[in-house]
Structure 1
Amino acid sequence: MISRAYHATLFALYQLCIVIGIVAMPLAIAARQAGLTLPIHRLIETVEGAYESTQR
């Protein structure tokens, strides 16, 4: 039961991170023009890795 709840929580967190990335895209484009980068891709990759490790 706990593993099912953990899996569902990771899935929801992964989806939330994707939405945050999409919503923050205009800010990321403006930051890149200013010479800065936002590390949103690292957050998504970390959560994706955790989610995929529960798939096995």
Structure 2
Amino acid sequence: MISRVYHATLFALYQLCIVIGIVAMPLALAARQAGVSLPIHRVLENVEEAYEASHARMK
């Protein structure tokens, strides 16, 4: 039961990170023009790895 809740929470967090990345795209483009990089991709990669690991454990 807890693993299902954990898996669902990771899925929701993964989807939320994707939405934040899409919404922050104009800010990221402006920051890139200024020579600054936003680390959204690192957060998304970490959440994706955790989600895939929990998905593999559930099988």
**Matches for 1:19-38 after TM superposition, within 5 Å:** 19-38=19-38
TM (norm. structure 1) is 0.99
Structure 1 unaligned runs (5+)?
Answer: none
Identical pairs, percent = 79
The CA distance in 2 between the partners of 1:3 and 1:55, in whole Å, is: 10
Equivalent in the alignment of 1:8 = 8
The CA distance in 1 between the partners of 2:11 and 2:17, in whole Å, is: 10
The CA distance in 1 between the partners of 2:55 and 2:14, in whole Å, is: 13
Question: Which amino acid in structure 1 is aligned with residue 18 of structure 2?
Answer: I
Aligned pair 1:43/2:37, yes or no? no
Give the CA RMSD over aligned residues: 0.3
The CA distance in 2 between the partners of 1:23 and 1:55, in whole Å, is: 27
Question: Which amino acid in structure 2 is aligned with residue 45 of structure 1?
Answer: E
TM (norm. structure 2) is 0.94
